[in-house]
Amino acid sequence: MTTTTETALPDRPTSGDPDVPTVTARHFGLAVLALAMGGFAIGTTEFVTMGLLPQIASGVDVSIPTGGHVISAYAVGVVVGAPVLAFLGARLPRRALLVALMAAFAVGNGVSALSSSYEQLMVARFAAGLPHGAYFGVASLVAASMARPSRKGRAVSLVMLGLSVANVLGVPAATVLGQELGWRAAFWAAAGLAVLTLALVVWFVPSVPGDAAASGRRELSAFKVPQVWLTLLAGAVGFGGMFAVYTYIAPVVTDVAGLGERSVPVYLFSFGLGMVVGTWLAGIMADWSIFRSLIIGGVGMAATMLAFWLAAPYGWAALPVVFLITTLGSVLVVNLQLRLMDVAGEAQTLGAAMNHASLNIANALGAWLGGLVIAAGWGLRAPALVGLVLSIAGVAILLVSARLHVRDREPIRA
């Protein structure tokens, strides 16, 4: 087991040294690995549904477009669950809350595997999405409390790295498993990963108390802070550009670039690898400056969207561009998480959890707008231009945020 130094407010240093961890873990690396394993489990189940959509639709006797709604059901679960569970769990001990969230996630995936009808599967996927945002929010707070304040950005990025690695290893492996043994096997695998995470959290994550002073009113106070809304909006809009491109990458590779279907997994691997590199880089950049990292990520994504639009017709020339898109996008995601943890003030749990609700809105927005421009006859490259506009809009929102800091004579602490 682990030994801890506990305090009523675990996110604030208690010693005279402002650069000491608030909570001491006996094995910091193993504790962070346990938290990241939860991200790996969540990332695997979130994205494997896309790879197994034909098999899932056939298994519950619906068309592929109708089957795609199970992906939306999960996203809606994330958006609903993030604020609700953070609101209800703010006062609970954080390790216990992480265990409860992973247990619920395991049950949601187990019920998904057992679903015999489309309606049951829709409900199960919604339920599986509920713990998603709250888990990442609480895990980020715990990781930050175990690290020195000057390195909390790297600690949070290590937790988020689990989600990125899932796109490189977990999703392909679960997809193959589902193709060979049936789509239900992929959800059973996700449930197993959740149980493994639960055990690792109990063994290696120190006991971190909740916020005894938390109340429903105080957590909801985060929604009264303009900077919280601006940060959420910057994520929902600015990150939507990546999903505008990611959603339609397969037809771009085959119909625009003129490559074979076997080239699509190579492009998807490049997307996943970019997420891993970007998440690692984001932690280093965050410890330098969170706000500047957000601006760099947003401007960089806008530039790479334009580069993708230009390079798409030239075969493999677009491959390094998609790597850069997700690298810069991951820099944006991690630093949005850290900024929300800062600007939410005393409503830390709710603020930290809302990031993934915002990102799932970005997912829906980017895919929807990308589909609109394709349907309007602008061509398969057009979603990249949508991504360009969304990225620029996200940067504009961040600049408004900075302007408010100046107007209120407040330093941009993050």
Selection from 406, 413, 395, 409 nearest residue 230 by Cα: 395
- For residue 33, pLDDT over 70 is answered with yes
Q: Chain-wide mean pLDDT for the chain?
A: 85
Three-class SS state of 273: helix
Please report the pLDDT score of residue 409 as a whole number. Answer: 63
What letter represents residue 132's amino acid? H
Please report the pLDDT score of residue 147 as a whole number. Answer: 84
Mean pLDDT across the stretch 199-203? Answer: 94
Please report the pLDDT score of residue 3 as a whole number. Answer: 38
Please report the pLDDT score of residue 167 as a whole number. Answer: 83
Residues in the chain: 414
Please report the pLDDT score of residue 214 as a whole number. Answer: 60
Fold of 21-214: Growth Hormone; Chain: A; (1.20.1250)
- For residue 2, pLDDT over 50 is answered with no
- Residue labelled with tokens 């197994």: 52
Selection from 30, 271, 42, 272 nearest residue 158 by Cα: 30
Determine what percent of the chain is predicted with pLDDT higher than 70: 89
What are the two backbone dihedrals, phi and then psi, of residue 194, each rounded to the nearest 5 degrees? -65, -40
Neighbours of 254 (CB within 10 A): 16
Say what angle helices 118-146 and 94-114 make with each other, to 10 degrees. 160
Domain 215-414 maps to which CATH number in 1.10.10.10, 3.40.50.720, 1.20.1250.20, 3.20.10.10? Answer: 1.20.1250.20
Give me 237's structure tokens: 């809009």
Please report the pLDDT score of residue 213 as a whole number. Answer: 62
Please report the pLDDT score of residue 96 as a whole number. Answer: 92
DSSP letter string over 358-390? HHHHHHHHHHHHHHHHHHTTS-TTHHHHHHHHH
Residues 271-305 as b/e (b if ≥16 CB within 10 A, e otherwise) read bbbbbbbbbbbbbebbbeebbebbbbbbbbbbbbb
Question: What is the torsional sign of CA 377, 378, 379, 383?
Answer: negative
Please report the pLDDT score of residue 6 as a whole number. Answer: 32
What global pTM score does this model have? 0.77
CB 137 within 8 A of CB 353: yes
Determine what percent of the chain is predicted with pLDDT higher than 90: 43
- For residue 208, pLDDT over 70 is answered with yes
pLDDT digits 0-9 by tens, 217-272: 666 666 788 888 999 999 999 998 888 888 788 788 888 999 987 788 888 888 88
Please report the pLDDT score of residue 8 as a whole number. Answer: 33
Three-class SS state of 209: coil
Tell me how far apart the alpha carbons of residues 321 and 271 are, in angstroms, rounded to a whole number: 9
Mean pLDDT across the stretch 203-216? Answer: 74
pLDDT confidence band for 211 (50 / 70 / 90): low
CB 168 within 8 A of CB 272: yes
CA atoms within 13 A on the CB side of 137: 36
Q: Containing H/E element for 236? A: helix 226-238
Q: Containing H/E element for 401? A: helix 382-407
According to DSSP, residue 314 is labeled S
pLDDT digits 0-9 by tens, 388-414: 999 999 999 999 998 887 777 665 655
pLDDT digits 0-9 by tens, 72-118: 889 889 989 988 888 788 778 889 999 999 999 999 999 999 999 99
Q: Where in the chain is the domain with CATH 1.20.1250.20?
A: 21-214, 215-414
Residues 6+ apart with CB under 8 A from 3: 24, 26, 206
Residues 6+ apart with CB under 8 A from 409: none
Three-class SS state of 313: coil
CB 336 within 8 A of CB 347: no
Tell me how far apart the alpha carbons of residues 190 and 198 are, in angstroms, rounded to a whole number: 12
What letter represents residue 157's amino acid? S
- Residue labelled with tokens 């990225």: 391
Please report the pLDDT score of residue 84 as a whole number. Answer: 86
Selection from 283, 277, 243, 53 nearest residue 165 by Cα: 277
Please report the pLDDT score of residue 378 as a whole number. Answer: 92
Tell me how far apart the alpha carbons of residues 344 and 97 are, in angstroms, rounded to a whole number: 20
Please report the pLDDT score of residue 281 as a whole number. Answer: 93
pLDDT confidence band for 353 (50 / 70 / 90): confident
pLDDT digits 0-9 by tens, 4-26: 333 333 333 334 445 556 766 67
